[in-house]
Structure 1
Amino acid sequence: MTKKQYQDMLNDLKGADNTLDGIHRTGRMIFKKAIELDVIKIDPTQYATVPKTQRTVEEIENKKEIPKFLEKEELALFLKTAQQQGLEGDYLIFLTLAYSGIRDGELCALKKTDFDENEFTLSITKTYYNPTNNVLKYTLLPPKTVTSERKIELDPIVFAELDKHLAKQNEVKMRYRKTYHDKNFVFVDMLKKHGYPIYIKKIENRMRRLLKLAGLSETLTPHSLRHTHVSLLAEAGVPLEDIMDRMGHKDDDTTKNVYLHITKTKKKEASHKFGELMRNLSVK
């Protein structure tokens, strides 16, 4: 396959951006392996770009479909349930997802060195890939996009819980030191495959369990916590550009949709206040 044939294929599939991103990532892995095995000499995906569907601001604002996310009261309930009724590691897992907005694959790949307890920052440099859900057969890949590699600030509450978690993890590591998979991962299997990173499906299953216990919608997923993070940042008045940077997005319609949905009420309030101000001036 030539570079032109591969790019033409991507262009022909243009339409569903998220699906196309996945196809391109898979293609890159396939041809990278082909290079490693000397099946081919030139990688046709090397300079390929995923065509994006350009939409107007009006189209984004008028789009009715808003991704599912938790209101702040619901998030507080969910995290309280995780803290009180969660399985081993649940509270830190969902606390980290909720307070950082990172993807679940990025969370699974986190290592201790990614957390800077002096600066209270978290570095995202890789993502976890394991399509078979076999805990032993995982792969670490570069982040989803170039902008996905980032450093974000985290609330000290996450680091406080991290310290507790790592203390327990160290006990398990010492107990099974001869067989422990010591690769510095933070979120690991501490019951059977000691030290191996947890897989995404397990996070989904644990979240569903907690949602049921909390009486919240079981259709929510770990990715919903990412949307929740965006919504709360928007509600707090953080500019869209800063949110996109924190989320590792160069441009993302879903983030814009959530942002516009949340800030719509604030825009109405601003307009109302301006009108009231002018009316008061007119009276005088």
Structure 2
Amino acid sequence: MWVEKRADDNYKFIERYKDPLTGNLRKVSIFFEKNTNSTRKKAQMALEKEIHQRLAKIQDGTIKEGITLGQVIKEWEPIYKQQVRSTTWQSYLVAKKHIEKYIGNDVQVSKITPKYLIHIYEDMLYKHGYNNPTVKSVEFKMNNILRFAFRRDYIANQPPKLLPVEWKKNKANDVGKKFLDQDELPYVLSEIEKLNPLYEQIFDWQYLTGMRIGEVLALRVKDIKKKSGIYYASVSGTLDYSANKVSEYVRQPMPKNDSSFRDVKLSSDALEIYKHRKKGKHKDDFLFQDNHQWFTFTRLNASLRKVKHDLKLDKQLTTHTFRHTHVSKLAELGMPLYIIQDRVGHKDAETTREVYLHVTQNARKKYDDLLDKL
């Protein structure tokens, strides 16, 4: 410790210590009015206490070696489960199986490196044949787990952004299979109507609004609102269909993410569906329920599989297909991508962007071909 006299006649008592994180010397100081044996003792004690407290904070952050990924997951899961919707939790449980299979519960979390994870993800893509969304889900969940491990001092550094994964490239014809062409849509809806008229109304509503199936089924009569002569669907909830029984399905008061909260302007066709569906219903009733019962997603998807088979349709046909078809139609009409993303509740969706680019590029090629006729 040493002492420096200040211009105001006070004394500054200073001590050095070594920062174990950087190896550099740091200083702590305290001021007294006098420089006596008594004040020097008091200063020494105060400075030692301050140094001890600073070092204690660092030492408490010493990495706990030997902690396995499985142990971290077990500690993290109860917290994560309370933070997310039950459907998101179910999605995590699927990703967890891949984490356990390809990374392993017994690996020490402090030994996991970005390069190691990239090898895992690319093996899943190209060796084991998984698609991009599946592997991206695993990557996203692992990042959450590693951030938790960092906060618990199980790893030394905040997980850095991974080196770019070599994701599978979608071929143009693959993107084109994610939505229906305008000549295909009427045939598909007509076949669905033969199976169940309400199914047709549900999927047609998806096409007309771009809403997710959970958002559509969670719509109540009172969620359709009129503002300045224009009708909107207020999207403020989604259907939690993670339960085993349809009777246990519940409406959750929050959709998939913050950008999902939105008002969707209704076209005249969508408005006709609304007027038909609201007949005999109270304002709190669900618009697309039948006898106060929801349809299981198994039944909805089964109807789509049957239609795909009967029409020999060389396209993906899921509930999301109608949402993608909505995006393709808006792109064809010249609506900007950012407005489409806002309408469908996606700030940054890879598939939305792919469909948009596919349609606009095809339109550009069509007009480019016309130039040859000049």
- TM-score norm. by structure 1 comes to 0.66
The DSSP-based 3-state class of the residue aligned with 2:248 is: coil
- Choose which of 225, 230, 239 in structure 2 pairs with 1:128: 239
Give the equivalent residue in structure 2 for 1:111.
220
State the secondary structure of the residue aligned to 2:348. Answer: coil
CA deviation profile, 1:10-60 (whole Å, cap 9, x unmatched): x997965666669979xx9xxxxxxxxxxxxxxxxxxxxxx899799xx97
* 2:261 partner amino acid: E
Per-residue deviation at 1:93?
Answer: 0.9
TM-score normalised by structure 2 residue count: 0.51
1:202 aligns with 2:312: no
Helix, strand or coil for the counterpart of 2:285?
coil
Q: Is the 8 A contact 2:179 2:316 kept in 1?
A: no
What is the one-letter code of the residue matched to 2:363?
Answer: K
Gaps of 5+ in 2: 1-74, 81-108, 122-131, 145-160
Q: Which has the higher strand share?
A: 2
Q: CA RMSD in A?
A: 4.0
1:232-280: CA deviation from partner (whole Å, max 9, x where unpaired)? 1111111111111111111111111111111112223455667888xxx
**Could you list the per-position Cα deviations for residues 42-83 of structure 1 after superposition, in whole angstroms to 9, with x for gaps in the alignment?**
xxxxxxxxx899799xx9787764152211111022223344
Quote the offset at 1:115 in angstroms: 1.4
Aligned to 2:358, the other structure's residue is in SS state helix
- The one of the two structures with greater contact order (alpha-carbon pairs below 8 A, sep at least 6) is 1
The one-letter code sitting in structure 2 at the alignment partner of 1:186 is L
The corresponding residue for 1:68 is: 178
User: Identity across aligned pairs (percent)?
Assistant: 27
Q: 1:266 aligns with which of 348, 352, 363?
A: 363
**Alpha-carbon distance in structure 2 between the residues aligned to 1:267 and 1:119:** 33
Paired residue type of 1:225:
F
Give yes or no for contact 2:219–2:288 (8 Å, CA) kept in 1. Answer: yes
One-letter identity of the residue aligned with 2:285: N
Cα gap change, 1:213 to 1:257, in 2 (>3 Å):
same
* Equivalent position amino acid for 1:92 in 2: Q
- Structure 1 distance, partners of 2:163, 2:207, is 29
Tell me which amino acid in the other structure corresponds to 1:244. Q
CA 1:240–1:60 in structure 2 vs 1: closer, same or farther (change >3 Å)? Answer: farther
Cross-structure match for 1:89: 198
Do 1:108 and 1:199's aligned partners in 2 also have CA atoms closer than 8 Å? no
Find the partner of 1:184 among 285, 288, 303.
285
